[in-house]
């Protein structure tokens, strides 16, 4: 699994959640720009932030990481 694949899955999960990036950022304790970087740049969240991100999106980390299907 490449970072681009992880970012694509993350973008899909954010879109499916209906949560705006600004609200998602607030829920996980980062800036909206940081959330954007997670989805578009070569930036991956710290593990604790990734766990919060998965919880906020109500998605399993295994899916975003490409280990399991949705």
Q: Which two tokens stand for residue 37?
A: 């970087």
Q: What is the pLDDT of residues 1-51, one digit of tens each?
A: 788 888 999 999 999 999 999 999 999 999 999 999 998 888 889 999 999
Q: How far apart are the first and last CA of the chain?
A: 15
The full set of domains in the chain, from first to last, is: 3-64 (1.10.260.40)
Q: Calculate the alpha carbon distances from 46 to 15, 49, 69 in Å.
A: 22, 5, 23
Task: Indicate the pTM of the whole model.
Answer: 0.84
Cβ neighbour number for residue 17 with a 10 Å cutoff: 14
CB hemisphere CA count around 23 (13 angstroms) = 8
Cα angle for residues 34, 40, 44 (degrees, 5° grid): 60
């Amino acid at each position: 699994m490449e970072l681009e694949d992880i970012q694509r899955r993350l973008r899909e999960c954010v879109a499916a959640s209906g949560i705006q990036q600004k609200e998602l950022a607030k829920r996980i304790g980062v800036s909206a720009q940081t959330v954007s970087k997670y989805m578009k740049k070569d930036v991956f969240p710290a593990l604790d932030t990734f766990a919060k991100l998965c919880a906020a999106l109500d998605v399993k980390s295994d899916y975003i990481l490409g280990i399991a299907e949705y």
